[in-house]
Every structure is written in C-alpha cells, then in structure tokens.
Amino acid sequence: MAEIMRLDRFISSQRGDISRSDVRKLCSARRVEVNGSCKVRSDMKINAAEDDVRLDGERIEYKKFIYIMLNKPQGVVCSTRDGLSPTVLSLIPEKLRRSGLFPAGRLDKDTEGFVLITDDGELAHRILSPKNHVPKRYYVRLEKPLEEGYEQLFEQGITLSDGVKCMPARLERAESEYDCFVTLNEGMFHQIKRMFEALGNKVNYLKRISIGGIVLDEKLALGECIEIMHKEIKKING
C-alpha cells in the first residue's frame, strides 16, 4: 500500500529525537539514503511503506503506529500534560517518542503497573470501551483480610457507595489473606478502591499486571518501558 509523504516528515515521525530541520541538515551532510542514493532532498516525496530509507546506513523502518508497555511507578500521572507531577509520557525514552502519543487508559497516581502508550486511537478506543470487554487484571493488597464470599460478591457485581452497580468481576485469592487478583472488564474512576470500600475494606497497594492477553513484562523495572510489536498487540483481544 502506498503511503506517500515527505522524507523529512517520514523520518521525524518515526524518530522522535530527529526534527524536520535536523533532517534537512542530515540530507545536506549526505547521511540519509533513499533506495541506495544519498542525493536526496528533505522535501522529496517517498513511499513510506515501500522505500528503503537509511540514516548512517541503518534502515528506518516504517511503523504506522507505535505501542509501548510502561511499568508506571507511583507519583506519575496518566495524562499527556500536568503542571505539577511527572506524566507517563516523560518516561518514554527519546528513541520511542513521537507526536500523538497518549496513554490508552488511566491508572491513579498511586497505582503502579502496566500502562499502554500509543498513537493508535482506534486501538485505544477498543481497549477502553466496556462493550469490547477487554479484561484488565490487577494485583491488590488490602488493609484487612479478605472475607468469605468476596468472590461471589465480585461475580454478582459490587454496588458502589453512590449506587452504581459494577459489571461482574473476578476475584482470585493470592498468597496471603491480604492479597488478591481482580479482573475488571470496565474502568470506572478509582473502581477497585471503591469496590473494596463498598465492602468495608481498603486498598493499600494496587498494580495492573495485564491488559487483554498482554502481561506486564516482569523484567521491566518501575519507570521502564519497551516497545510491543504489532503481532503482540493483537493479543489484546485475547
């Protein structure tokens, strides 16, 4: 499929660390090649899907969209801008940065774990829409022990203190009576905290560990991220 665009736009869209004016300088310095020729201008039109574009001999692959798995630490907010706190976007290394990136779904400032960052609006919509039932799994540590029957209450749908009834969710017990895993198919504001509050308990620690069929990479330290390949992203829908 033809994806015709200017060379400078192509390079700067794929490489967040290179601006369009940088591309002009790189072309003059003969460091950019298109299909084997380094006699190129930054405003020339290329077919992004087919042409072979190289910088210093290294191929710049065309990716229409990018998908980044971040292990969000506490204290970081899931928005594109915030005057006071660092945002998830500030944790993306320069090489993966590009315009239009945003977090597909929010975690609270004090929640850790998997945030998917992308520039693919359609995918984000798919993940976030409750109609699509993309499950999100969380590890929860509670202030008080889990009581008998919590599993059934989650399965029936917890009613929050404001009267809103949650969709059925899954609760699985973990190592101790204070720990569990909760899987939600929707994402209301502070939902897990409010579900346990409605049961007279309190969440002391919360971490998202998967979105659909994609599990947070255990090797990722807090604040680190990796790119997820397109074929992996298809697992989102299970």
Where along the sequence are the contacts to ligand URA (CB under 6 A)? 107-108, 111, 190-193, 206
Task: Give 216-219's long-range contacts (Cβ < 8 A, gap of 24+).
Answer: 216/69, 216/71, 216/113, 216/114, 217/69, 217/71
Nearest residue (CB) to ligand URA, 13 versus 111: 111
Residue of 108, 110, 120, 179 marked catalytic: 108
Nearest residue (CB) to ligand URA, 68 versus 107: 107
Smallest separation (angstroms) from ligand URA to the CB of 181: 13
Smallest separation (angstroms) from ligand URA to the CB of 113: 8
Residue 231's Cβ-count burial label (10 Å; 0-12, 13-18, 19+) is exposed
Nearest residue (CB) to ligand URA, 10 versus 139: 139
Q: Does residue 108 have an active-site annotation?
A: yes
Number of H helices, E strands in the chain: 6, 14
Query: How far apart, in whole angstroms, are the C-alpha atoms of residue 46 and residue 34?
Result: 8
Smallest separation (angstroms) from ligand URA to the CB of 57: 44
The residues that bridge with 70 in the sheet, in sequence order, are: 115, 225
Which residues are known to be catalytic? 108
